[in-house]
Chain A
Amino acid sequence: RKEVEQDPGPFNVPEGATVAFNCTYSNSASQSFFWYRQDCRKEPKLLMSVYSSGNEDGRFTAQLNRASQYISLLIRDSKLSDSATYLCVVGNYGGSQGNLIFGKGTKLSVKP
């Protein structure tokens, strides 16, 4: 089983739609969780951290289910500018120090 798995997509949605991405991770001892956004030919940028109680930042909501080892990202009222690849990232203690494990990403395309 891969350490961090994501549906590669692409997810093609119309403007205004709600879209959800899922991510599973294999290491039950994982301690930190993030969503990054990567635009085409650009560097990954932190979108939001994911907390155990779930957290929201504007149109974006992240959820963590430790029992199922599952992370989700919900985007409401999609904008054209949300088109990007979304990377699920998990931090593990006990492995290489400071090692964040990156999923391969889910591609989102928001259409007019």
Chain B
Amino acid sequence: NAGVTQTPKFQVLKTGQSMTLQCAQDMNHNSMYWYRQDPGMGLRLIYYSASEGTTDKGEVPNGYNVSRLNKREFSLRLESAAPSQTSVYFCASNRSGGSNQPQHFGDGTRLSIL
């Protein structure tokens, strides 16, 4: 009963490097989300995908791209990492994009940009 699975759990990058954070859910959810969490800032939405084939910007999309590969998988890409992107990244999913549905979270990716 995996729920939402994120890889990798930890990553250290140098400024300018690129990488992709992977997220997969096995709950047959339609909607998926990427958040970042910084001390004192709370959770902030980066991008979301209301359904397979669609993606939309959230509150802090700059410097990121996403791909909804299929219903299960939603990846987040940093094309040219910057120290300001050091954060904990959470992927989440819920049954539908309606905001009356609680979201279920993966256990996070801790990313450090040097």
Contacts and interface: CB of A to CB of B under 8 A. Distances in A.
Contacts of B48: 96-99
Given A43-B90, A43-B107, A96 B45 contact: yes
B56 interface: yes
A31 B99 CA distance: 8
A-B residue pairs, 3 tightest by C-beta: A91-B99, A98-B97, A104-B42
Contacts of B90: 43-44
26 contacts: A31-B99, A32-B99, A32-B100, A43-B106, A43-B107, A44-B43, A44-B90, A44-B105, A45-B105, A46-B103, A49-B102, A87-B43, A89-B102, A91-B99, A92-B99, A93-B98, A97-B48, A97-B56, A98-B33, A98-B94, A98-B96, A99-B58, A100-B99, A102-B43, A104-B40, A104-B42
A105 to B, nearest CB: 7
Interface of A: 31-32, 34, 42-46, 49, 87, 89, 91-93, 96-100, 102-105
Contact of B99 (A45, A99, A105): A99
Contacts of B75: none
B104 A46 contact: yes
Contacts of A99: 45, 48, 58, 99
Nearest to A32: B100
A42 to B, nearest CB: 7
A91 B40 CA distance: 21
Interface in B23-37: 31, 33
B99 A34 contact: no
B42 A97 contact: no
Given A43-B108, A96-B57, A98-B48, 9 more contacts: A34-B102, A43-B107, A44-B90, A87-B42, A93-B98, A97-B97, A100-B103, A104-B40, A104-B42
